[in-house]
């Protein structure tokens, strides 16, 4: 039995540019958003200044309320665990959202035993905040 836990956000640096600021501002409100082309509806994650499908620039930021679906994951001993005997694991994961086809976000799986993590499971978004209040998505099983 090895429980997963997210990294603490304190040491995680976030660089915000004018293009990505809408994403980061949404994280402050615990909202996960994705840029969607207003011309052809193609999602641009990671954010690109021009749509790769139609070359337009304008986007709307769509909230992904989930649940998400676990696409992939791994786990290994947590780098911030108490001691070498501490079984706490860090579980980086990739999650897809049906409301945004083609979009995959990365985050840590949290509050789940590693024996219960399974590709295809439904997850909800939670948040880890760095010292400046920017949010980093984390995922937990839908309760
Ligand atoms: Zn487009």
Number of domains forming the structure of the chain? 1
Task: State the distance from the centre of ligand 1 to the C-alpha of 54, rounded, in angstroms.
Answer: 4
Domain assignment present for residue 2? The answer is no
Task: State the distance from the centre of ligand 1 to the C-alpha of 83, rounded, in angstroms.
Answer: 50
How many angstroms from the chain centroid is the CA of residue 118?
A: 17
What pLDDT, on a 0 to 100 scale, did the predictor assign at position 99? Answer: 94
Task: State the distance from the centre of ligand 1 to the C-alpha of 112, rounded, in angstroms.
Answer: 38
What pLDDT, on a 0 to 100 scale, did the predictor assign at position 143? Answer: 80
Task: State the distance from the centre of ligand 1 to the C-alpha of 80, rounded, in angstroms.
Answer: 42
What pLDDT, on a 0 to 100 scale, did the predictor assign at position 57? Answer: 95
The b-or-e profile of 69-89 (16+ CB within 10 A means b, else e) is bbeebebeebeeeeeeeeeeb
- List, run by run, the mean pLDDT of 10-residue segments along the chain (143 residues): 82 90 97 97 92 96 97 93 89 96 95 95 96 95 90
What pLDDT, on a 0 to 100 scale, did the predictor assign at position 71? Answer: 98
Q: What is each CA distance from 55 to 45, 102, 104, in whole angstroms?
A: 15, 18, 21
Domain assignment present for residue 136? The answer is yes
Q: Which residues contact 56 (CB under 8 A, 6 or more apart)?
A: 37, 38, 39, 40, 50
Task: State the distance from the centre of ligand 1 to the C-alpha of 44, rounded, in angstroms.
Answer: 9
Domain assignment present for residue 27? The answer is yes
What pLDDT, on a 0 to 100 scale, did the predictor assign at position 82? Answer: 86
Task: State the distance from the centre of ligand 1 to the C-alpha of 56, rounded, in angstroms.
Answer: 6
Domain assignment present for residue 16? The answer is no
What pLDDT, on a 0 to 100 scale, did the predictor assign at position 103? Answer: 95
Which range marks the domain in which residue 87 is found?
A: 21-141
Domain assignment present for residue 5? The answer is no
Which long-range contacts (C-beta less than 8 Å, at least 24 apart) are formed by 135-138? Answer: 135/24, 135/27, 135/28, 135/30, 136/9, 136/12, 136/14, 136/27, 136/107, 137/27, 137/32, 137/105, 137/106, 137/107, 138/6, 138/107, 138/108, 138/109, 138/110
Domain assignment present for residue 58? The answer is yes
What pLDDT, on a 0 to 100 scale, did the predictor assign at position 2? Answer: 85
What pLDDT, on a 0 to 100 scale, did the predictor assign at position 53? Answer: 96
Domain assignment present for residue 6? The answer is no
Domain assignment present for residue 11? The answer is no
């Amino acid at each position: 039995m090895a429980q997963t836990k997210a990294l603490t956000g304190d040491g995680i640096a976030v660089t915000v540019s004018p293009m990505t600021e809408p994403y980061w501002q949404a994280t402050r409100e615990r909202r996960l958003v994705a840029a969607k082309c207003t011309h052809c509806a193609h999602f641009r994650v990671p954010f690109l200044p021009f749509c790769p499908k139609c070359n337009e620039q304008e986007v709307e930021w769509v909230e992904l309320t989930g649940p998400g679906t676990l696409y992939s994951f791994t786990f290994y001993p947590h780098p911030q665990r108490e001691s070498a005997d501490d079984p706490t694991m860090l579980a980086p994961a990739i999650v897809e959202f049906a409301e945004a086809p083609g979009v995959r976000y990365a985050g840590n799986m949290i509050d789940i035993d590693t024996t219960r993590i399974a590709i295809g499971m439904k997850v909800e978004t939670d948040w880890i905040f760095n010292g400046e209040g920017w949010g980093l998505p984390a995922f937990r099983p839908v309760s």
